[in-house]
Amino acid sequence: MDAPAASEVTDAAAALATHTRKQLARLALIAFVFTFIAARVVVYLIMSRRMPDLYFYVGQTHVHHLNYGIFMLCAAGAVLLFGPRTLRQLRGCALLYGVGLALTFDEFGMWLHLGGAYWQRLSLDAVVIVAALLTLVALAPSWREIRSRDLTVALYLLVAVGAFVLTALDMVKRSRVVPELERLEQRAPQ
């Protein structure tokens, strides 16, 4: 049996790397989505007093969950930079990265404006953008596999998503949901 050509070995390694990259991106995306949903539900339940106050305080200072997310992102980065990289560690880092991203970007509006209401639309916008980027990484073909029809479909999808986002934002702006959530936040335990 002949030995595989160098190009075949390179192609196989590239295919494995792409497959692994997509798996890791999917793990990060799943962790991101579930963590974002859990964070929003828990905050709502605490603010509506249907759940005890689980916030962490240092003295009189409320430590927001974006801080936990930053530490998680730092831990994932440190493991990837300084530790040996087994597939198990890569999967753990992907999960940690997704959780850290969700906790951090869930409060994006607060850290961008250095305060303000938790329910800022800017935070939701940031989460949607990060989720979309993670989805693209998780589902997109490798650069060598992209064809012109893929670019055409991507353009149509981009226009459709843009129209959806504009419509959804207009609907939220016209609804009473955000003012009600902000009123609830004002009554929440400090």
pLDDT tens digits, the chain, 190 residues: what are they?
555 555 554 555 555 576 688 889 999 999 999 999 899 888 888 888 888 988 888 988 888 899 999 999 999 999 999 987 888 899 999 999 999 999 998 888 777 666 667 767 667 777 888 888 888 778 777 766 777 777 787 788 778 777 767 776 666 666 666 666 677 767 666 5
C-alpha–C-alpha distance, residues 39 and 32, integer Å: 10
- Residue 1 resides in a domain: no
Res 130: pLDDT: 85
- Residue 22 resides in a domain: yes
Q: What's the total number of domains in the chain? A: 1
Site of tokens 């639309």: 121
The backbone torsions φ and ψ at residue 70, rounded to the nearest 5 degrees and listed phi first, read -65, -45
- Residue 174 resides in a domain: yes
Res 81: pLDDT: 92
- Residue 37 resides in a domain: yes
- Residue 40 resides in a domain: yes
**Would you say 65 and 103 are in contact if contact means Cβ atoms under 8 Å apart?**
yes
* Domain around 142: 6-187
- Residue 173 resides in a domain: yes
Helix H or strand E encompassing 56: strand 56-58
Closest CA to 133 of 110, 111, 105: 105
- Residue 24 resides in a domain: yes
pTM: 0.69
- Residue 48 resides in a domain: yes
**Would you say 95 and 158 are in contact if contact means Cβ atoms under 8 Å apart?**
no
